[in-house]
Chain A
């Protein structure tokens, strides 16, 4: 079975995110002062062949650990898994 696994990567909180900061400044200049901060990460869809959603997630997690996120500065999490 084919699954779409959606993964988000984010910079760790302690790490400066200049793109996010610039975006927050732009939002603030639009008058959206309620937005205190913005953090920019990546959103990745993997098409995974697996027997179950759990198996698809396990495969996607391995991809996250070994390539999609750099553990020195990023974390990743699976946002959604659904049959393709």
Chain B
């Protein structure tokens, strides 16, 4: 579930293939955008969906781990959060506040999720998450610890399941 950064791919050949794939993807996503602008605005094509992000002031590196099976619409569920220093050392005893919502609809999260204050190895439990509709959701974390305070925003796209009889 944890996405590797593109920078880690070093070989030239791989990079070229990646570029070609990126161009193809852009063309496909243009088609997608046209198709998805029916009910509501499609998520931006360049949305950063990485589940590992540096915080705004680079004080922490945060990894979000979604539930093993994607939660159904309106189902309360939990995520895991890993907080580390830029060098990769786990950050324990941080306090994490959660906010978020749908930028294209102008509303926040339907619930008030909470993060367990204290878990081992810089891993925290994010409880009470719920998505009430498909589309682009932001998950914003404000982290406070002895190492300082910083913020990070993750994007996630809740997709409509593929039709099956």
Indicate, yes or no, whether A interacts with B: no
